[in-house]
Chains A and B, each alone.
Chain A
Amino acid sequence: MTRNGWSFGLVVPLLATAGARGDEVVIPPEVRAAESARIALIERIAPAVVCMLDENKKGGGAGILIDPAGYGLSNFHVVARSMETRRGFGGLADGTAYPMEILGVDVTGDVAMFKLTGSERFDAVSLGDSDRMRIGDPVLVMGDPFAVAWDYTASVSRGIVSGVHRYQKGAGDRLVYTDCIQVDAAVNPGNSGGGLFNHAGKLVGIIGRASFAERGRVSVGLGYAISANQIRRFIPGLRAGLHTFHGTLDATVTDAPEGVIFNAMHTDSIAAEMGIELGDTLLRFDGYEIRSANQFASLLGTYPDGWPVSVDYRRGDQERSVELRLSRLPVTLDAPIPVDREQNLAEVRRTLERFKAAVGGAERIADVVSIGWTGVREHLEQSQRVTMSQPVRLELEKVSPASPVHPLAWNLTDHPEPEDEPSWTVVGADAHEGEIVQVLEHRQPDGGRIYFAFDETCLLRRVQVAFEEGEIARVYTYDGYQDVDGLRLPRRMGAAHDVDRQFHVDIVEQYVLERRM
């Protein structure tokens, strides 16, 4: 029975673990090193994994922080229960449940963005290039399967990439997973919204689905993640509290002997409007070779509404190419999702503040009276050179085709006042020269609109001006900064141009600052 004999038997092994024993296993250094690397990697990522909780702190699903300011990604179907109040909590590995707000959502693509508050700085991960994931690559999945993370410490599972560019049918037109990454790491209910990480610890996907068998809702080795590259195109809009939509051509293609051909098209479709006809063979979409109808459907599903893409097609023996913007793909909703106006405004302020900080900071700008801007305006047909200089501090009523305005300069010297704020909105994301930008719209009192496009680093890339209620009339593009009297002002390379190509302003662009003494 209970003797010292057996308790001694237990104590000895426990003591034995402390020192070396004759029969100790020798572990090859490379095996140890690989294991240690994985342990270290998980330690690095784990603080960024969020256990998604509803208003009552009840768990179900995960999220991943991608910005130290507390922004994170999850699935729409994880936050759907909280859409009425758009409030919840995010549990982190430090054991704290931080207040959470749901920002924008992508219902078609099953993505949502949230923001945690309650800390100066959150641990976050960065997005990786999901296009570089190959079959066989080792991956880690982190989330909250079966809601067992009572202390908000996420669960980790390991596996490999089983397939790429996978298509998983949705529930009707919602939660469609196109071009997703398939993995064999354990994915169970509760892993949704969690992260798929590559061997370098970059977030390459958001896990959201799994194939379940007759056994029930238990992992059988097939999990699916929305690719990071798809999500990137939606992030600017999601951060701004928008309900983002996916894009469509309003046309379908099918496999045929000669290739992938357009076999159905809405008469009002953007495809038809741009001159594509039934029977045309689709060759490339946004630069990607199109091999099959399925592959195209999967690829198309990664693009937002309004995205600019090039479509290369063949008619007969002639190859043609058009640039168009995708139309909006509608999605069925139980209830319409209103734009989160507050979030949108917060994002406007955040972007403008970051931009001003990049220029030199609000303090440095505060004493600027005017930014003089000199450019050369050339009339295409008459090759006339006219030098214009324009003091800035504009009465915007004066904006008209006759008085070219440099909206950037206006923006620098005027700080949006609360009364101005309703006129500012983040309208979403766009592609500019292959990069993803966030577009802010400023509505002018006379009905004109100016669109500012900022890239990830808050570098100003493009400005579009629409006069009164008309279409975009003028476009300015920027590619860097130049130092002007201590401020870093956007520098333009190449011509700004009027959309109707009548006028363009030469590349010589000078700023002259006038400061308050």
Chain B
Amino acid sequence: MMRQRYINLLFGLALAWLSSATHASTPSGIGVAEPQAFRNAAARVEPSVVTIETVGGAMPPDIAGGGQSFRIADGPSTGLIHAADGLIITSSFNFVRDPSVITVTLADGRRFVADLIARDEIRKLAMLRIDATGLPVPVWAAPTERRVGMWSIALGRAFGGDRAAMSVGMISAVGRFDGLAVQTDAKLSPVNYGGPLIDLAGRVIGLCVPIGPNLSEMAGAGLYDSGVGFVIGIEQIRRVQTRLARGESIVPGKFGAAIQDAEPGGVRIKAVAEPSPAHQAGMLAGDRIVEIDGQPIARVDTLMRLMSLRAAGEAVTITLMRDEQRMTFRVTLHSISAIGPFPAPPSDEPAASRPSTAPASQPASQPAA
């Protein structure tokens, strides 16, 4: 069996090599074969791609970040069947309005009312449930099957129609944000947030979400169509799917301290909120954080990065220096809503690290860092 496959492969490659050796000056070769391959890949996953429509809800905030702000529109959005018995996974971006009614239309045209059962605010995911069974579940690519340079096609349902709209790109990086996301230069936007990014075999590389460089709320959407887009892979979804399926939302976890860079290194606590895990544990303003879960913290940037992936309910070990004494605290993180005010107004929140910008004048193009 394997031998036959090898021979087939050899033959195919020899053919390809030979045909490349003959003069093929028109793009009839690969210029036609690649688009057909894109379509075939899309066709494989299309049965699992759903159209989500929402009705009602609050006026959405403008999305800012990276680019100019834009107002969220209320056209259709995209989702992916996650379990045969009615779980749909999509992006929380599509529910910023907190809509009154959510409908899901399957590829076969059947339409259902959907319940939004939970959100993951860190991964920008949302889980819906519809009352259906026997749904076609897509095939996901395993993490080891992702390679930088692979074709990756994003599918989106915003424009309606028989088939999803396609954006063709490639995998730009794997393991971004400590393994949270895979990066692509396909154009990700509200057209396809919540939809799949697939490889040539039609397997899902990840779910398209609006993550931004500092992982903040929805600012990632400001980078739409930038060629820097992020998707959440199956290994990340598996970490949270049980909780989401039973209605448990995942929110960023905080311990309740206002912080700034300290000399000669580490992060100074400027104020402790009350109530908060930090307050409860006995951390004080003036303490200098030097480690989180055993990882040395040199600057606020590092701390923000480590904390940006932590959820409320998770525990974290904080090592700090107080008057030359080394102290360790184990705290359980809370959501922002469960944390009280700071006693004195803290100075400016540390800004997320950003690359330095260009000289101020207005040439036709600008330095890109």
Contact = CB atoms under 8 A, between A and B. Distances in A.
A151 B175 contact: yes
Contacts of A59: 353, 355
B144 to A, nearest CB: 10
A517 B225 CA distance: 74
A224 interface: yes
A155 B149 contact: no
Contact of A2 (B201, B245, B356): B245
Interface string A456-473: 000000000000000000
A6 B85 contact: yes
Interface in B223-251: 223, 225-228, 234, 238, 241-242, 245-246
A9 to B, nearest CB: 4
A218 B359 contact: no
Given A14-B142, A35-B149, A77-B369, A6 B84 contact: yes
B321 interface: no
Contacts of B169: 157-158
Contact of A210 (B36, B149, B170, B368): B368
Contact of B301 (A58, A62, A192): A58
Interface centre among B16, B83, B185, B246 (most CB of A within 10 A): B185
Contacts of A217: 66-67, 357, 366
Interface stretch (B27-35, B71-79, B91-99): B27-35
Interface in B353-369: 353-361, 363-369
Given A29-B15, A33-B13, A218-B226, A6 B355 contact: no
Interface stretch (A18-26, A119-127, A264-272, A417-425): A18-26
Interface in B1-53: 9, 12-13, 15-16, 19-20, 29-30, 33-34, 36-37, 40-41, 44
A168 B147 CA distance: 35
A312 to B, nearest CB: 31
A27 interface: yes
Interface stretch (B104-112, B176-184, B338-346): B176-184
B162 interface: no
Interface stretch (B133-141, B286-294, B329-337): B133-141
A49 to B, nearest CB: 11
A81 B356 contact: yes
Nearest to B302: A57
Interface in B140-181: 140-142, 145, 147-151, 169-170, 172-173, 175-178
A223 B20 CA distance: 31
Most central of B142, B183, B246, B367 by chain A CB within 10 Å: B367
A12 interface: yes
A191 interface: yes
B270 interface: no
B87 interface: yes
B226 A186 contact: yes
A316 interface: no
Contact of A155 (B142, B172, B201, B246): B172
A227 to B, nearest CB: 15
B85 A31 contact: no
Nearest to A57: B298
Interface string B246-279: 1000000000000000000000000000000000
A212 interface: yes
Contacts of A25: 37, 40-41, 44, 200-202
Interface in A120-158: 145-151, 153-158
Interface residues of B, number: 84
B44 A155 contact: no
A153 B175 contact: yes
B313 interface: no
A16 B361 CA distance: 56
Contacts of B119: none
B363 A150 contact: no
A240 interface: no
B367 A209 contact: yes
A191 B234 CA distance: 29
B124 interface: no
A60 B361 contact: no
Given A30-B19, A148-B213, A188 B67 contact: no
Contacts of B148: 39, 42-43, 46, 156
Nearest to B358: A77
A169 B359 CA distance: 13
A60 B356 contact: yes
B368 A189 contact: yes
A32 interface: yes
B82 interface: yes
Interface of B: 9, 12-13, 15-16, 19-20, 29-30, 33-34, 36-37, 40-41, 44, 66-68, 82-85, 87, 137-142, 145, 147-151, 169-170, 172-173, 175-178, 183, 185, 200-203, 212-213, 222-223, 225-228, 234, 238, 241-242, 245-246, 298-299, 301, 305, 353-361, 363-369
Given A39-B149, A146-B355, A187-B227, 5 more contacts: A9-B137, A42-B149, A146-B66, A147-B213, A158-B185
22 contacts: A6-B85, A12-B137, A16-B139, A25-B44, A27-B201, A35-B151, A41-B149, A43-B148, A61-B369, A110-B367, A154-B173, A157-B169, A158-B170, A168-B364, A171-B360, A175-B359, A189-B369, A210-B366, A210-B368, A211-B366, A216-B66, A220-B225
